[in-house]
Amino acid sequence: MSSNIRVGDLSVNRLGFGAMRVCGPDIWGPPKDRPNAHRVLRRAIELGVNFIDTADSYGPHVDEDLIAEALHPYPKGLVIATKGGLLRPRASAWNPDGRPAHLKRALDGSLKRLKLDRIDLYQLHAPDAKVPFADSVGALADGQRAGKIRHIGVSNVSVAQLEEARRICTIVSVQNEYNLEDRSSEDVLKACERLGIAFLPWYPLGAGNVLKKDKIKSIAKKFQTTPAQIALAWLLSKSPAMLPIPGTASIAHLEENVAAAALALSDQDFAALN
Ligand SMILES: NC(=O)c1ccc[n+]([C@@H]2O[C@H](COP(=O)([O-])OP(=O)(O)OC[C@H]3O[C@@H](n4cnc5c(N)ncnc54)[C@H](OP(=O)(O)O)[C@@H]3O)[C@@H](O)[C@H]2O)c1
């Protein structure tokens, strides 16, 4: 397994697991093969993964239920990061709801489903344009004061929003889209490096699309490895703040992804991808 990274006062392996893909198709409803979802989650732990990302909106609720079914009582040192602030009225909708009353209910629901007294990392899934951002972050700060949240993170934010959140409470992580093909959050990544907080790139494999790019395929061929491993090794080389959370419902892909943490790209290969 890879080196460690700090998430607040916690230390985790630098390659995490994004559990979103173990739900049903379109991240909606239960998986077709529930025992397989359990096996994938358990295999992640066997491979040394000790950071799992989920959200109440995955399923909705299904993902958190699957994690508790597969892994509770949790192994020592496992950090489960969940998120609140998005509603799923139907499979195609991911609607922000950043009202404090909703976030309070969402937090209580996640605690119950995950069978936890306190969530190690609770993230605001996305700012809600209809609600002052400070009110949403303030609701998480209230949850922390109530002892229900250990650390607070934010997701899908700009640098200005990160700064605003940091004026309200301590923020230990940001989760934004970032991969070889989408670097629109480069400024947020740099801010995380400067501030010494973790950056969790979502879609680290571009939801699979990055793997089709010729430049990745050719470097993968040179290393006799796979495009997914190159994409992840590039992220890990890119920044010490990076904590990738690749997702999969396949044990073979999980094993492949975790092994990427041991791959060292040369400066030349890194530059060719950059
Ligand atoms: N904060 C947010 O707004 C937000 C948004 C999206 C995602 N997320 C988080 O980020 C995590 C990662 O995102 P993601 O799972 O959507 O995207 P991803 O990790 O970029 O890609 C996952 C996709 O790639 C495939 N894949 C995974 N490993 C592979 C491999 N070794 N070879 C070939 N294909 C592979 C998977 O299919 P198979 O199942 O067939 O392997 C899946 O379709 C999620 O699990 C979730 O926790 C957060």
Query: How large is the average pLDDT for residues 29-40?
Result: 98
Q: What is the pLDDT of residue 274?
A: 83
Query: How large is the average pLDDT for residues 36-51?
Result: 98
Atom of ligand 1 nearest to the CA of 228: 31
Mean predicted lDDT score pLDDT of the chain: 97
- Our mutation pick for probing the ligand 1 site, out of 15, 235, 253, counting the most ligand atoms within 8 A of Cβ, is 253
Lowest mean pLDDT among 84-98, 123-137, 139-153, 208-222: 208-222
Q: What is the pLDDT of residue 3?
A: 87
- pLDDT band, residue 100 (cuts 50/70/90): very high
Query: How large is the average pLDDT for residues 169-195?
Result: 98
Which tokens in the block code for residue 125? 């899934």
- pLDDT above 90 (res 142): yes
Please report how the helices 159-168 and 186-195 are oriented relative to each other, as an axis angle in degrees rounded to 10: 30
**Exposure b/e, 214-243, CB count within 10 A at least 16 = b:** eebeebbeeeebbbbbbbbbbbbbbbebbb
Instruction: Give the Å distances, CA to CA, from 183 to 109, 186, 246.
Output: 33, 5, 16
CATH number of 4-273: 3.20.20.100
- pLDDT above 70 (res 1): no
Query: How large is the average pLDDT for residues 60-74?
Result: 98
Q: What is the pLDDT of residue 2?
A: 54
Instruction: Give per-residue pLDDT as tens, 225-270.
Output: 999 999 999 999 999 999 999 999 999 999 999 999 999 899 999 9
| pTM metric for this prediction | 0.98
Alpha carbon nearest to ligand 1 atom 15, residue: 247
231 DSSP assignment? H
- Our mutation pick for probing the ligand 1 site, out of 63, 157, 205, counting the most ligand atoms within 8 A of Cβ, is 205
Alpha carbon nearest to ligand 1 atom 30, residue: 253
- pLDDT band, residue 95 (cuts 50/70/90): very high
| Contact assessment for residue 165 and residue 135, using Cβ atoms and an 8 Å cutoff | no
Helix locations, 51-153, DSSP H: 62-71, 100-114, 133-145
- The C-alpha atoms of residue 185 and residue 102 are separated, in whole angstroms, by 27
Task: Give the percent of the chain with pLDDT over 90.
Answer: 95
Residues with CB under 6 A from ligand 1: 18-21, 53, 125, 155-156, 175, 202-208, 211, 226, 228, 245-250, 253, 256-257
Which tokens in the block code for residue 237? 């080389």
Alpha carbon nearest to ligand 1 atom 44, residue: 18
Tell me the CA–centroid distance for residue 132 and ligand 1, in Å. 30
- The C-alpha atoms of residue 196 and residue 194 are separated, in whole angstroms, by 6
- The C-alpha atoms of residue 50 and residue 44 are separated, in whole angstroms, by 8
Q: Where are the domains of the chain?
A: 4-273
- pLDDT above 90 (res 211): yes
Is residue 203 part of the annotated active site? The answer reads no
